């Protein structure tokens, strides 16, 4: 018996040491030790002699993979090495997308992909849609405004991921665009053609190509044969495409482990479907199931409240959990804090956070969670005012890193001279070059003149293209472009440094605050040193972008303390001692956006919001504070004052309220809108006096 198994309960141990060569499904509710079991299982596999590199671990984020493997290492470190395979390899781990990327790099030519293909992140893909869109603006059909570029990509991606016809997707997601369906379809078609011709691969393509490879009679068995064991975490959030890949890789060897909790399925908008977990036997009839339902994380008071929310789901809720230690009642009841408005909410959160810190809890043991990234903006101002350090996860932040994307564009061009998106970005870095000039230069390069021609042939046309640039930037552009070609025998790191030197002057000229940006470029050059090719640096960045400003260069000081702010989506799988949940008001949570026009329809949209709420409630170990501002602004970013008097989230209605202690904060007298309106204040006189004083 191995040490690390001794701490598991019987079900957990059975899951960790499951031996039959058939698929295993572990249905594991929130806080039931899912991560421990998965890490134990990997440790057990390795301890029993499976070579590490023959284990594939698919997780939802790369961070999850790292955490899991770190725990596996800790478990194994305490053990004698007898029985372990003497292998220098490492467990293969990562997200579906990152493993797909590695696979495609390895087999690119066999899959009909160009060798140095570029991976587009969301902003690159929207840029490409922008290029396509520009062409359509002149078209006769476009009397009306075309949808914005981000919406075009969204429509495209949903159609690809769900397999639904574009017209259906438009009808559900963006009904106001229905009249433009034909134009949109034409643009999607053009987008696909462009990607192929230019050697570009977007997130969806990574999965599509991987599936095609896994199903291919020649390549597929080879890919499948690389692994003895495949383990998939968060299986409730996989989509049909991902299931196809897993199934294709396990046609002969059946050793597959999937772990998930359908009560925590929150990625329906990405075409994920918990049915893949629930109906696992349909795809894998020989499967065995082990269920974990004892919650070791949360206090019984918190757990009961979360269960009560789940119990209100009309179709039932599979993860009604029992507390591990019901006799331990030292936990506090969840708190429901009603606030006058966002100001009051931000103040209340700060006060409570500091209270907990006074009581000896680090900031890092607390988290503030919210439905939408912008929900924390007001709080962030207050945190800054009070000098409370924080790191925010979730939301899109790529715009902050324009200079990073500039150098990455150069890296991508070095591997793929036909990358039109990167050319467009690079050329506009030059002073006096806008969309029109960039367009002409790119036309002169004739990127897709002949699909089989080499990068060198494209670059051979550069002198002609360069002539179209304003004279004063021509030299700088020539220098940068000449740095694209790699020198014989040069390492990737050296090439990266050469590109940095060539691009840095352009970035310095383009951004007013360039000095602080240049350090970020060194981070990229360092990353390049450990990559097989420059395009990989850009792909890594696309597949795992920095999650916060502090994340890029790493936390400034190791032992500094900070509060975590996160969307509920980004908080999946994590836990803290104390959780503050913001904006638990109907309209914000559940989000109005999710109810009417969700991809999977109104009812499903509501149920997904309910599961999201449940995910948030099951993050804390010891204390849960839920905040309900009475008044909130409709347009958080607009200058107008449009607001609503809000109701608490419908998930907090009925029976659920019995599980909460309810407070007004800070003071109920200040809250009621009409209460103070009767007092007459001589405001006109006061203002007049103040103004007069100015001219005195």
Partner DNA sequence: TAATGGGGGTTTTTT
Partner DNA sequence: ACCCCCATTA
Residues in contact with DNA by the rule CB under 7 A = 60-61, 95-98, 122, 130, 133, 137, 145-146, 148-151, 154, 157, 174, 176, 203, 267, 269-270, 371-374, 394-396, 399, 431-438, 440, 543, 545, 567, 569-570, 591, 593-594, 597-599, 635, 637-639
Tell the smallest beta-carbon distance from residue 436 to DNA (Å): 3
Q: Indicate the residue among 431 and 522 with the shorter CB distance to DNA.
A: 431
Q: Indicate the residue among 274 and 334 with the shorter CB distance to DNA.
A: 274
Tell the smallest beta-carbon distance from residue 203 to DNA (Å): 4
Q: Indicate the residue among 208 and 483 with the shorter CB distance to DNA.
A: 208
Using DSSP's 3-state secondary structure scheme, residue 663 falls into strand
Q: Among candidates 360, 379, 361, 359, which has minimal Cα distance to 369?
A: 379
Q: Indicate the residue among 334 and 599 with the shorter CB distance to DNA.
A: 599
For residue 373, how many other CB atoms are within 10 A of its CB?
18
Contact present, 572 and 270 (Cβ < 8 Å)? no
> 612 φ, ψ to 5°?
-65, -40
Query: What is d(CA 619, CA 653) in angstroms, rounded to the nearest whole number?
Result: 20
Query: What is d(CA 626, CA 491) in angstroms, rounded to the nearest whole number?
Result: 54
Q: Indicate the residue among 211 and 352 with the shorter CB distance to DNA.
A: 211
Q: Indicate the residue among 122 and 164 with the shorter CB distance to DNA.
A: 122
Contact present, 584 and 648 (Cβ < 8 Å)? yes
Tell the smallest beta-carbon distance from residue 650 to DNA (Å): 16
Contact present, 393 and 369 (Cβ < 8 Å)? no
Tell the smallest beta-carbon distance from residue 386 to DNA (Å): 22
Tell the smallest beta-carbon distance from residue 430 to DNA (Å): 9
Tell the smallest beta-carbon distance from residue 160 to DNA (Å): 11
**Length of the chain in residues, anyone?**
696
Tell the smallest beta-carbon distance from residue 351 to DNA (Å): 25
Q: Indicate the residue among 307 and 618 with the shorter CB distance to DNA.
A: 618
Q: Indicate the residue among 605 and 648 with the shorter CB distance to DNA.
A: 605
**Secondary structure in 3-state letters for 291-338:** EECEECCCCHHHHHHHHHHHHCCCCCCCCCCEECCCCCCCCCCCEEEE
**Do you find a cis peptide bond into 465, omega within 30 degrees of 0?**
no
Contact present, 594 and 606 (Cβ < 8 Å)? yes
- The structure tokens listed for 369 are 């969670």
Q: Among candidates 438, 444, 448, which has minimal Cα distance to 462?
A: 444
Strand partners, 663: 337
- How many Å separate Cα 518 from the centre of its chain? 26
Tell the smallest beta-carbon distance from residue 643 to DNA (Å): 13
Query: What is d(CA 376, CA 589) in angstroms, rounded to the nearest whole number?
Result: 13
Strand partners, 527: none
Query: What is d(CA 102, CA 92) in angstroms, rounded to the nearest whole number?
Result: 10
Tell the smallest beta-carbon distance from residue 542 to DNA (Å): 8
Q: Indicate the residue among 26 and 542 with the shorter CB distance to DNA.
A: 542
Q: Which residue has the tokens 């005195």?
A: 696
Enclosing H/E stretch for 231: strand 229-232
Contact present, 334 and 303 (Cβ < 8 Å)? no
Query: What is d(CA 146, CA 186) in angstroms, rounded to the nearest whole number?
Result: 12
Q: Indicate the residue among 303 and 441 with the shorter CB distance to DNA.
A: 441
Query: What is d(CA 433, CA 530) in angstroms, rounded to the nearest whole number?
Result: 34
Q: Indicate the residue among 14 and 185 with the shorter CB distance to DNA.
A: 185
Q: Which residue has the tokens 């924390």?
A: 376
Please list the helix, strand and coil fractions of the chain in percent, rounded to the nearest 5, in that order.
Answer: 55, 15, 35
Q: Indicate the residue among 440 and 643 with the shorter CB distance to DNA.
A: 440
CA dihedral over 15, 17, 18, 23, signed as positive or negative: positive
Q: Indicate the residue among 263 and 414 with the shorter CB distance to DNA.
A: 263
Tell the smallest beta-carbon distance from residue 177 to DNA (Å): 9
């Amino acid at each position: 018996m191995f040490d690390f198994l001794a701490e598991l309960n019987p079900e957990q141990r059975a899951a960790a040491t499951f031996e039959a060569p058939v698929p295993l499904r572990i249905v594991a509710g929130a806080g039931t030790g899912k991560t421990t079991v998965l890490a134990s299982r990997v440790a057990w596999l390795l301890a029993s002699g499976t070579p590490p590199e023959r284990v594939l671990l698919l997780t939802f984020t790369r961070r999850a993979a790292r955490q899991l493997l770190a725990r596996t290492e800790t478990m194994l470190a305490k053990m004698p090495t007898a029985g372990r395979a003497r292998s220098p390899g490492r467990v293969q781990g990562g997200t579906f997308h990152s493993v797909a990327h590695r696979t495609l790099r390895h087999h690119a030519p066999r899959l009909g992909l160009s060798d140095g293909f570029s991976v587009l992140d969301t902003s690159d893909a929207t840029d490409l849609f922008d290029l396509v869109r520009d062409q359509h603006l002149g078209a006769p059909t476009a009397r009306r405004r075309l949808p914005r570029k981000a919406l075009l990509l969204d429509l495209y991606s949903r159609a690809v991921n769900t397999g639904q016809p574009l017209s259906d997707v438009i009808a559900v997601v963006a009904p106001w665009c229905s009249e433009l369906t034909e134009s949109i379809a034409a643009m999607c078609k053009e987008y696909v053609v462009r990607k192929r011709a230019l050697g570009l691969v977007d997130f969806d393509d990574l999965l599509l190509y991987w599936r095609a490879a896994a199903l291919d009679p020649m390549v597929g068995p080879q890919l499948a044969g690389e692994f003895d064991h495949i383990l998939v975490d968060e299986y409730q959030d996989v989509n049909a495409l991902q299931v196809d890949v897993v199934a294709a890789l396990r046609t002969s060897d059946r050793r597959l482990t999937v772990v998930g909790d359908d009560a925590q399925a929150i990625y329906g908008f990405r075409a994920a479907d918990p049915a893949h977990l629930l109906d696992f036997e349909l795809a894998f009839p020989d499967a065995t199931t082990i269920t974990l339902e004892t919650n070791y994380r949360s206090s019984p008071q918190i757990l009961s409240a979360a269960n009560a929310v789940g119990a209100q789901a009309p179709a039932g809720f599979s993860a009604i959990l029992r507390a591990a230690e019901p006799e331990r009642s030292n936990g506090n009841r969840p708190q429901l804090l009603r606030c006058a408005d966002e100001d009051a909410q931000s103040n209340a959160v700060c006060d409570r956070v500091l209270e907990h810190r006074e009581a000896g809890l680090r900031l890092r043991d607390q988290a503030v969670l919210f439905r939408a990234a912008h929900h924390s903006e007001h709080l962030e101002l207050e945190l800054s005012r009070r000098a409370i350090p924080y790191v925010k996860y979730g939301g899109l932040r790529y715009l902050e890193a324009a200079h990073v994307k500039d150098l990455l564009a150069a890296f991508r061009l070095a591997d793929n001279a036909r990358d039109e998106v990167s050319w467009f970005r690079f050329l506009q870095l030059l002073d006096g070059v806008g969309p029109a000039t960039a367009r002409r230069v790119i036309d002169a390069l004739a990127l897709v003149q002949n699909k089989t021609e080499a990068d060198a042939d494209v670059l051979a046309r550069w002198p002609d293209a360069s002539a179209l640039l304003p004279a004063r930037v021509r030299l700088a552009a020539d220098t940068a472009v000449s740095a694209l070609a790699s020198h014989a025998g040069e390492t990737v790191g050296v090439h990266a440094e050469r590109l940095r030197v060539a691009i840095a002057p352009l970035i310095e000229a383009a951004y007013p605050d360039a000095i602080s940006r240049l350090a970020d470029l060194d981070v990229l050059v360092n990353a390049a040193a450990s990559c097989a090719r420059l395009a990989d640096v850009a792909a890594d960045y696309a597949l795992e972008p920095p999650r916060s400003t502090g994340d890029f260069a790493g936390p400034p000081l190791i032992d500094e303390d900070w509060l975590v702010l996160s969307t509920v989506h980004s908080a999946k799988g994590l836990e803290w001692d104390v959780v503050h949940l913001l904006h638990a008001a109907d309209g914000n949570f559940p989000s109005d956006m999710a109810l009417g026009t969700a991809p999977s329809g109104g009812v499903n949209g509501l149920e997904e919001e309910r599961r999201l709420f449940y995910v948030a409630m099951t993050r804390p170990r010891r204390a849960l504070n839920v905040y309900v501002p009475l008044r909130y602004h409709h347009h958080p970013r607009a200058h107008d004052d449009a607001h609503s008097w809000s109701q608490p989230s419908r998930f907090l209605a009925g029976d659920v309220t019995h599980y909460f202690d309810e407070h007004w904060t800070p003071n109920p007298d200040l809250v009621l809108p009409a209460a103070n309106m009767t007092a007459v204040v001589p405001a006109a006189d006061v203002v007049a006096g103040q103004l007069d004083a100015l001219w005195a």
